[in-house]
Amino acid sequence: MFKYVKFTNYPINIKKKNLKMAKYLLTQFGGANSELAAALRYFSQKFNMPDEYGKSLLNDLANEELGHCEMIATMVHQLTKDATVKELEEAGLGGVYAEHKKGTYPTDANGVPFTVTYFSVTGDPLADIMEDMAAEQKARAVYENLIDLADDEDVIRVLLFLRQREIVHFNRFQELFNYYKKKGY
């Protein structure tokens, strides 16, 4: 069913440790507007799309979003790789260390754990796609905020790539919305 390719959609090679940035990035791993929320939203919604076009699009984007989760987790790992416990504590990641050591656990930047209440599945194709467009715009805005917080070109390049994918996804959902609206759904 899947062919796993052992590299991310965009090369990630962060050389400098930055625990604060790692903490900020957690929001795109498990926050309200995260890649995980998008992946689960689209996967859950696909079953109620009225045709294969919609089901396939949501399935494809759900899988791409899981790839983005892998990218964010890779970035967090590279940013924290050689950090000491003391450094993690000083960066506000002591609680994360206590629960998960250096494991990447789905939370936002404030440590609030992921919850499925971050998204909705209505069963109405137009309502769900409208939510998907809004989700892509919110994720784009979060990436722009993260870019503002970043000072490492290795981090910024990846964030710019991920931001651009949010725009592409928004456009694909807009096309699907218009297609379904024209068909009278």
φ, ψ for residue 74 (rounded to 5)? -65, -45
Three-class SS of residue 107? strand
Rounded to a whole number, what is the distance in angstroms from the first to the last CA of the chain? 30
- Reply yes or no on whether the pLDDT at 1 is more than 70: no
Task: Classify the phi-psi angles of 111: left when phi > 0, otherwise alpha if psi is within -120 to 50, otherwise beta.
Answer: left
Q: How far is 78 from 18, CA to CA, in rounded Å?
A: 9
4-13, 35-44, 114-123: segment of lowest average pLDDT: 4-13
pLDDT over 70 at 133, yes or no: yes
CATH superfamily for domain 22-109+122-183? Ferritin, core subunit, four-helix bundle (1.20.1260.10)
The answer on pLDDT for 176 being more than 90 is: yes
Share of the chain above pLDDT 70, in %: 99
Residue 55 has a CB neighbour count (10 Å cut-off) of 15
Overall pTM surpassing 0.75 (yes/no) = yes
Averaged pLDDT of the chain: 96
Per-residue model confidence (pLDDT) at position 162: 98
- pLDDT above 80 (res 172): yes
CB 27 within 8 A of CB 109: yes
pLDDT of residue 2: 66
